[in-house]
């Protein structure tokens, strides 16, 4: 709790790079199936279909030196370093949550995002993500009242993804599913093949989260040559994803579907909303007539967006988007995150009123994920 109010972390993370995938996956998948490996610098990566994922590491230094001397990744040691014990150990995570003021954490994976967004084989993707979801269920079982799980879904096989969403929600108590903003092969969220996923989410009354994976699959990747550029523009796929959901008609076809765009900040939303609205008025009415225009769709209750705790434009975003659509994720414990101060920093802002703070920290994520 913070200042007597319950806090929900709408986007926390855990590691999956240590899993023994060869023991978890069917041998019938063959030698191209997922494996955990260490590259020449000692960094943990996944070997799938003859590729190493991530295809570029965040820093080109030696892994062990990064662990020992992580000032670059902790902003002069003010923030917690990456590879925190709680990313692997749920019991170790609980005191970290207490220090951060987090009562409930909604959890997402790590390298598995790359399996969902880059791997071509539907069989390998579905089997890998099912094994990961089983691992996540076991992690959350250590404190089921505080740790809540989000199912990783294989975009490569939408029918299997819909079945996996039903399994994880119905049998394991998961609170959402997650998809990448698009697949590297060009499949976007408005592709007709994904309809089984949207229908299943509506039937189950759970949201589908669209979580950025940075520059990894972005069409801007060839133009973002430096690390700073790659990080600064890593959220662009989220803008394209919102366009697919709105202008591609997904939210129009599924009016009971909730979606959340996570880990790309919120300051871009008013700009994207304006561009979509103007483009729809100028060109869309000739070919795509929806029940609601983009503005009413985005502000109508289906779309949630995660903010950063210190975004200076947050008051403007809340005014344009509406105060009921914003959530906050700790990003525990990624280097660009602000752990352990994330929730406290937002709660301490003097340009937000108490009602908006409570909505962001509790009311909105509770409604998004169906948490009492």
Range from 10-14, 75-79, 195-199, 286-290 carrying the lowest mean pLDDT: 75-79
pLDDT at residue number 18: 87
Q: Residue 132's closest CA among 11, 16, 13, 12?
A: 16
**Is pLDDT at 273 greater than 60 in this prediction?**
yes
pLDDT at residue number 135: 97
**Is pLDDT at 65 greater than 60 in this prediction?**
no
| Cβ-based neighbour number of residue 65 at 10 Å | 12
Domains along the sequence of the chain with CATH: 8-18+91-369 (3.20.20.140)
Query: Do the strands 44-48 and 51-53 form a parallel or antiparallel pair, or are they unpaired?
Result: antiparallel
Record the tokens describing residue 356, joined without a space.
Answer: 């908006």
Average of per-residue pLDDT across 306-330: 97
The CA angle 71-74-77, to the nearest 5 degrees, is 65
Average of per-residue pLDDT across 111-118: 93
Alpha carbons within 13 angstroms on the beta-carbon side of residue 355 total 4
More confident residue, 222 or 104: 104
Average of per-residue pLDDT across 7-36: 92
> Beta strands of 147-198 (E only): which ranges?
147-152, 176-179
pLDDT at residue number 2: 95
Average of per-residue pLDDT across 325-339: 90
Rounded Cα gap, residues 69 and 78, in angstroms: 13
Cis ω for the linkage preceding 142 (within 30 of 0): no
Tell me the average pLDDT of the chain. Answer: 91
**Is pLDDT at 300 greater than 70 in this prediction?**
yes
pLDDT at residue number 75: 59
**Is pLDDT at 94 greater than 90 in this prediction?**
yes
User: Within its chain, how far is the Cα of 34 from the centroid?
Assistant: 21
More confident residue, 104 or 219: 104
Q: At 60, is the pLDDT very low, low, confident or very high (cuts 50, 70, 90)?
A: very low
On whether the CB atoms of residues 218 and 264 are closer than 8 A, the answer is: no
Rounded Cα gap, residues 136 and 351, in angstroms: 37
Q: Could you report how far apart the first and last alpha carbons of the chain are, in Å?
A: 15
Rounded Cα gap, residues 59 and 43, in angstroms: 9
pLDDT at residue number 67: 52
- Give burial (CB, 10 Å; 0-12/13-18/19+) of 357: buried
pLDDT at residue number 81: 81
The 10 Å CB-count burial string (b at 16+, else e) for 219-250 is: eebeebeeeeebeebbbbbbbbbbbbbbbbbb
Record the tokens describing residue 340, joined without a space.
Answer: 């352990």
- Whole-model pTM? 0.93
Average of per-residue pLDDT across 286-309: 93
**Is pLDDT at 244 greater than 80 in this prediction?**
yes
pLDDT at residue number 336: 77
pLDDT at residue number 66: 52
Average of per-residue pLDDT across 252-265: 97
pLDDT at residue number 230: 82
Whole-Å CA distances, 108 to 77, 161, 217, 301, 343: 25, 16, 18, 23, 18
């Amino acid at each position: 709790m913070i200042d007597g109010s319950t806090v929900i972390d709408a986007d926390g993370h855990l590691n999956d790079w240590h899993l023994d995938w060869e023991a978890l996956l069917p041998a019938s998948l063959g030698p191209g199936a997922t494996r955990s490996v260490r590259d020449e610098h000692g960094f943990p990566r996944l070997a799938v279909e003859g590729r190493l994922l991530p295809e570029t590491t965040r820093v080109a230094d030696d892994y062990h030196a990064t662990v020992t001397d992580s000032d670059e990744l902790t902003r002069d040691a003010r923030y917690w370093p990456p590879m925190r014990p709680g990313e692997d150990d749920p019991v170790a995570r609980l005191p970290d949550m207490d220090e951060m003021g987090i009562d409930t954490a909604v959890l997402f994976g790590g390298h598995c995002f790359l399996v969902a967004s880059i791997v071509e084989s539907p069989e390998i993707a579905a089997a890998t993500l099912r094994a990961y979801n089983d691992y996540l269920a076991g992690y959350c079982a250590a404190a089921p009242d505080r740790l809540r799980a989000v199912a990783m879904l294989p975009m490569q096989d939408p029918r299997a993804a819909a079945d996996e969403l039903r399994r994880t929600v119905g049998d394991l108590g998961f609170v959402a599913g997650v998809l990448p903003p698009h697949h590297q092969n060009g499949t976007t969220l408005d592709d007709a093949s994904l309809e089984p996923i949207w229908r299943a989410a509506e039937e189950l009354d759970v949201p589908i989260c669209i979580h950025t994976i940075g520059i990894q699959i972005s069409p801007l990747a060839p133009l973002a040559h430096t690390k700073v550029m790659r990080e600064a523009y890593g959220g662009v796929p989220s803008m394209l994803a919102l366009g697919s959901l709105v202008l591609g008609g997904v939210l129009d076809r599924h009016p009971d579907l909730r979606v959340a765009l996570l880990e790309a900040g919120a300051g871009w939303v008013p700009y994207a909303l304006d561009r979509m609205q103007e483009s729809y008025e100028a060109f869309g009415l000739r070919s795509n007539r929806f029940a609601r225009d983009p503005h009413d769709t985005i502000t109508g209750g289906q779309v949630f967006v995660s903010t950063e705790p210190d975004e200076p434009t947050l008051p403007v975003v809340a005014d344009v988007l509406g105060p009921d659509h914003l959530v906050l994720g700790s990003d525990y414990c990624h280097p660009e995150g602000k752990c352990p101060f994330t929730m406290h920093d937002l709660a301490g802002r003097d340009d937000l009123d108490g009602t908006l703070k409570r909505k962001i920290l509790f009311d909105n994520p509770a409604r998004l994920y169906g948490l009492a």
